[in-house]
Amino acid sequence: MSVSSLREYLDLLDTTGWLRSFDQPVSWDLEASAATMLANIRDGPIPVFESIAGLETESKLVGDPYRGPQTRPWDHFARALGLSGGLSGRTYYDRVIDRLNAPQAPRTVASQEAPCKETVRTGNEVDLLSFPWPYIHEGDGGRYSNLHTIVAPDPDTEWGTWSSHRMMIHDSSQASLLLLAGEQVPNRYYYDYEPRGEPMPVAVVIGAEPTVECTADMWIPTGRSEAAFAGGLKSEPVDLVQCETNDLYVPATAELVLEGHVRPDDRLDEGPFGDYFGYMNGPRRSMPVFEVDAITHRHEPRIPFCVEGSGVGYGQNSTSTLRLVAAGPDATVGLRAAGFDVAMAVPWRFTSRTVWVIATDRPYPGYLHELANFIFTTWGMLHIDFFVFVDAAVDPLDPRAVLTAIALEADPDADFHQFGVERMPKVPLNIYQTPDEKGNADVGTSKAKTAKAYIDATTDGDAAEMAATTETRKRAQERLVEAGLNAARFDRLDEREGQSQ
Amino acid sequence: MIPFTQYVRGLAGDDDLVRLDGPFEVPVDVLAAEALRASGPALRFQRAAGSDLVSGVFSGPDQTHQREARPWSRLSLGLGLDPEAMLVDLLETISTLGPAGGNLNPTYTGQAASGTDIDAQDLRFPQGETDTWPAVTLGVASVSTADGTHWAPVHGSVVGGDTLRVRVPDTLSSLVGEGTTMTIALGVPPAAITTAYLLAVTEQTATPIQSCGVTGTVPLVPTNGGLVPSATEVVMETTVVDCKPDFRSDRREGWEYVIESGPLSLSVERVRTTENPVIPVSPVGRPLADDTRLTGLVTAAALYHRLNNYWGISPVEWIMLPAEAELGICFVASDVLYGGFEWQLANILFSFSSLFDTVVIVDEDVPPQDFGRVLADIWLKSHPARDWTFSEPDAPAATRPHYRRDNETGSRLYVNAAWDPRWKETYIAPRVTFENSFPNDVRDVARVLWDEPDTAPGETTENESPH
């Protein structure tokens, strides 16, 4: 059974020893974030801050709940989906891909059946500042909600489109949304609603169930519903409920829902923010305004947040884990659906939104160029600069194997391919462009263009590495574990096929 | 000087060595390789018959998997440094073992290996899953000429009780002929094998060890071949019977990617061992193998020494040829002195080493044990168009990669993942770290929440190992 709410997921973490509740008051002003960053660095339990210092609130903050263990970042998600813990990365991907290939339409429930409607506030009762939005890094432009699912209209699907865009709180009813053109929801706003002078209805869903959070991080083609893929991941329909003040449907078990609209031709400051690149990113920009019309929530809502920037290098956080556990399998499904012979598509663990590793066969000359071109012009356009292609037999989840492939197989003369030098769009969150190059473009992408590149680190048919047989390796690992070595570090001891569903 | 057995005991004392008791149904090299892949400790294979074996003693944890990993810490211990020593301390120490100019005065002491009633097969060298013969790895070959004693790395196979087939650097082969006596020393002090590797990769095998710094730290003893460390676990005195034997080996120790090597056939005249000999083994050809790691470290030491003695100043913070990249990429952290310095830096590295044709330059403040940051900065700080610089396609292929083995020329690449020195300070994005992102009092609160003891002011915690 998959879990059906953030609370069930947190309970699951608790039973496995991966949750730590703090009863003492902790401030939303950097303290919760600092404690979370320490946990992220040290691969510690997920912190739940039960009491918020200096604020009369029943809300609780949860720091980076989706961060996975450093040895197996997918482990918590595997359990949340009803799979066994301890699966190898490849097996986890296989299981998730199977589920993504079997989407299930959502089910609607009445308001009285939806936990997220336990409290409903509209009109003068709306007060964003009654919630403990965290101030995440010293130097941020403001307090943020940055681990949520945005629900926006989509004329091609019944259930709207889901995505993820950070939100900076401004006052009791306004926030600025980071909408960067090139992505589906921002495009809908900038090129559809705003030109018509029409406000775009939006719901910000905070503390949705894990499969919802996963699909918000995926690149689902237009005309397909994230809600159905969330159901596929769960192996049962996701419950949705209609908003109070607009026609959008939101996940019913969410902790907190902000209903509102994005005002046309209006902007508020957004940023700077310590972003996923691991660097404080400026300059402060003008971004569209989200005005809140209603707030609904569960009793004692759990408000998850992500210490962004701590998921680079060795670090893991919610967003880096979501890339690996959700976006990776989704991309694999998408590339296969597009006709590419891809074994696995995996974000590079040290900077998960900038580089992807794709293990693939090369069935015909020019195949890698076609594959790179397809991705760069679709879902990989704004954030991803590099693709590394490795043999299908290379484990793209093993950075050592990938690094070795780059070092030994990628010929600087023939295997590094730049796509259109300085002709491609880029999110202004990057750190290699100067502030002048980033500018303050109306729709949020950098003023200056960039390049994209792919690296062909596939072999020419020769095995790259001496290896013992799988059976011998497994016996060796068993012997070493018997001698006291950490079992979690071995890759062939965790194929508990009989236990996984 | 630390004898090999003392070194092994030290690793055990640091909880960095695990003992496995025989018999071993799984080949030792597979066990060794799996422990390395898992960033495990060194292994000691306790055997009822034959010598004990140890693996992983010259390697260390996988830096792509483990925060704060210092795969050089074991060798640091072996060279008399603190296991927590910085990489540059080790690189500088390695450099002191090499040619020092002039003749030094060796210290001679008695030979620890005195047992003689065995042959090479009695030692029960490990045999890999696909090997025809038991394998000898991590050895030091010693030959004597009129100039003195010459050391070089050696590995090979035991094809009979009195026959070895080995591979040595051509620079050593050129000093011997059929009938020349050669001693193979196994289980030598870490300083000795490091010296043999250093002399090999810098093509200075012809320099006698009497002119090398190692002589001042490692007591020696004469043998029929040449001087060897007196604290050697196994001493095999041999005679060269064939300088061009007709056999091929698929295995290459790491140093063989740096310099030309070739086979020799040896007749084993006498084997001496200590009472309970311990022999190091490396899973040659497998990821993170000891010989690869050792080659990377001594090559980095040689390059570090050359670069920081080139410009009149020392801009280079560290150099790494990680075993994680099989020595095929050179990573260098440096102060980028001026615009264009990165080009000079990369191309001088290409001049001094033919192992790689990709160089990655990172900022000087990136610690080498934070390799995860290096593996992020490559893609984050470098502009995909401007900071990936390819040479004209006229360069010879590097020796380590698999491509262009047909003598075709091609391009070299350097990636500049360091801040541009011409940028205004305001262009430099501050990093998100525990220290940068929170004031002191908030950091204290966070530590107390996790039941942390007080941390001394200024002490960094952001890169602490995960528990």
Distance from CA of B208 to the nearest CA of A (A): 34
Residue of A nearest to B408 (CA): A413
A246 and A108 together in one domain? yes
Which of A34, A42, A432 is the closest to B443 by Cβ?
A34
CB contact under 8 A, B466 and A312: no
Question: With contact defined as beta carbons under 8 Å apart, do A411 and B403 qualify?
Answer: yes
- Minimal Cα–Cα distance from A79 to chain B, Å? 22
Give the whole-angstrom CA distance, residue B119 versus residue A368: 56
Could you list the beta-strand ranges (E) of A19-131. 19-22, 46-49, 60-63, 107-108, 119-122
**Shortest distance, CA B442 to any CA of chain A (angstroms):** 6
Residues from chain B that touch A45, judged by Cβ atoms under 8 A, are none
Same fold, B2-279 and B309-425: no
Q: Which chain B residues touch A312 with a CB distance below 8 Å?
A: 372-373, 376, 380
Nearest to B432 among A280, A406, A468 (CB): A280
Judge whether A488 lies within some domain: no
Domains in chain B: boundaries = 2-279, 309-425
In this structure, what token pair is assigned to residue A199?
A: 């406000």
Half-sphere exposure for A303 (CA within 13 Å, toward CB): 27
For chain B, say whether A452 makes contact (Cβ under 8 Å): yes
Task: Answer yes or no: is A331 within a domain.
Answer: no
Q: Tell whether A476 is covered by a domain.
A: no
Give me the count of residues in chain B. Answer: 467
Selected residue with higher pLDDT from A352 and B378:
B378
Cα distances from B38 to residues A7, A102, A226, B58, B405, in angstroms, run 34, 36, 38, 15, 32
The answer as to whether A480 is a domain residue is no
Q: Is the pLDDT of residue B28 over 60?
A: yes
- pLDDT at residue number A112: 97
Residue B427: which of A33, A274, A435 has the nearest Cβ? Answer: A435
Same domain, A289 and A363: no
B402/A351 touch (CB, cutoff 8 Å), yes or no: no
Model pLDDT for residues B391-447, shown as the tens digit of each residue? 999 999 999 999 998 889 999 999 999 998 888 888 888 999 999 999 999 999 999
Give yes or no: residues A17 and A104 share one domain: yes
Residues of chain A with pLDDT under 70: 379-380, 420-421, 440-444, 461-466, 492-501
Which three-class secondary structure state does DSSP give residue A5? coil
A310 touches chain B (CB under 8 A): yes
With an 8 Å Cβ cutoff, are B390 and A43 in contact? Answer: no
Question: Are A267 and A175 in a shared domain?
Answer: yes
Give CA–CA dist B169/B199, Å, rounded.
Answer: 10
CB < 8 Å to B326, chain A:
404, 407-408
Q: Which of A455, A473, A489 is the endpoint of a domain?
A: A455
Going across the sheet that includes A302-305, the strands are A19-22, A46-49, A60-63, A302-305
The whole-number pLDDT of residue A218 equals 87
List A residues 432-451 in contact with B (Cβ-Cβ < 8 A): 432-435, 450-451
Residue among B370, B431, B467, B378 nearest B67 (CA): B370
Which amino acid is located at A140 in the chain?
D
Q: Which residues of A touch B360 (CB under 8 A)?
A: none
With contacts defined as CB-CB under 8 Å, which chain B residues touch A281?
A: 429
pTM comes to: 0.94
A244, A276, A303 - which closes a domain: A303
Strands annotated E in A361-491: 386-391, 416-424, 450-456
Contacts of A406 in chain B (CB under 8 A): 325, 328-329, 358
Q: Which chain A residues contact residue B324 at CB under 8 A?
A: 399-400, 403-404
Q: In chain B, what residues touch A450 (CB-CB under 8 Å)?
A: 383-385
**B316 to chain A, minimum CA–CA distance in Å?**
22
* Residues A224 and A298 occupy one common structural domain: yes
Distance from CA of B65 to the nearest CA of A (A): 8
**Is B463 in Cβ contact with A280 (below 8 Å)?**
no
Q: Residue B187, by phi and psi: left (phi above 0), alpha (psi -120 to 50) or beta?
A: left
Q: What is the mean pLDDT of residues B37-55?
A: 95
The torsion angles phi and psi of B416, rounded to 5 degrees, stand at -95, 100
Q: How many CA atoms lie within 13 A of A114 on its CB side?
A: 28
Same domain, A259 and A143: yes
Nearest chain B residue to A42 by CA: give it.
Answer: B466
Question: Residue A191 carries which DSSP code?
Answer: I
Task: For domain B2-279, give the CATH superfamily.
Answer: Electron Transport, Fmn-binding Protein; Chain A (2.30.110.10)
Please report the sign of the dihedral spanned by the C-alpha atoms of residue A325, residue A326, residue A331, residue A334. positive
Cα gap B325→B319, rounded to integer Å:
14
pLDDT band at B459 (very low <50, low <70, confident <90, very high): very low
Q: Which residue of A has its CA nearest to B448?
A: A35
Interface test with B, best of A138, A317, A404, A422 (most B CBs within 10 A): A404
| In a shared domain, residues A375 and A281 | no
In this structure, are A299 and A371 located in the same domain? Answer: no
- Claim to verify: residue A344 and residue A231 sit in the same structural domain: no
Cα B327 to Cα B399: distance, rounded to the nearest angstrom: 10
Q: Is the residue at A358 inside a domain?
A: yes
pLDDT value at position A444? 67
pLDDT score for A77: 96
Of B272, B201, B199, which Cα lies nearest the Cα of B231?
Answer: B272
Residue A273 sits at the chain B interface (C-beta within 8 Å): no
Residues 6 or more apart from B357 whose CB is under 8 A from it?
A412, B350, B395, B397, B398, B401, B410, B411, B412, B413
At residue B117 the predicted structure's pLDDT band, cuts being 50, 70 and 90, is confident
For B260, other C-beta atoms within 10 Å of its C-beta total 11
Averaged confidence pLDDT in chain B: 93
Name the fold adopted by B309-425. UbiD C-terminal domain-like (3.40.1670)
Domain span at residue A170 reads: 4-303
Length of chain A: 501
Flag if B410 and A485 touch (Cβ within 8 Å): no
Q: Exposed, middle or buried: residue A317 (CB in 10 Å: 0-12, 13-18, 19+)?
A: buried
Query: Within this chain, do residues A242 and A389 fall inside the same structural domain, yes or no?
Result: no
**Tell me: the pLDDT tens digits for B210-260?**
999 999 999 999 999 999 999 999 999 999 999 999 877 778 999 999 999
pLDDT at A180: 86
CB contact under 8 A, A404 and B324: yes
Which amino acid belongs to residue A391? D
Out of A247, A278, A303, pick the residue that ends a domain.
A303
Which residues in chain A have Cβ-Cβ distances shorter than 8 Å to B429? 277, 279-282, 431
User: Which of B18, B30, B324 comes nearest A476 by C-beta?
Assistant: B30
Nearest Cα of chain B lies from the Cα of A287 at a distance, in angstroms, of 21
The answer to whether the CB of B169 falls within 8 A of the CB of B257 is no
Nearest-by-Cβ selection for A400 from B25, B62, B462: B62
A160 and A232 share one domain = yes
Contact A472 B373 (CB under 8 A): no
Instruction: Please indicate whether, in this complex, the C-beta atoms of A483 and B19 are within 8 angstroms of each other.
Output: yes
Is there a contact between A430 and B380 if contact means CB atoms under 8 Å apart?
yes
Does the beta-carbon distance from B381 to A432 stay under 8 Å?
Answer: yes
Question: Is the same domain home to A189 and A67?
Answer: yes
CATH number at residue A387: 3.40.1670.10
Using the Cβ of A92 and the Cβ atoms of chain B, whether some distance falls under 8 Å is answered with no
| Contact across the interface for B449 and A26, Cβ inside 8 Å | yes
Largest CA distance in chain A: 69
Look at chain A and report how many structural domains it folds into: 2
**Does A253 reside within a domain?**
yes
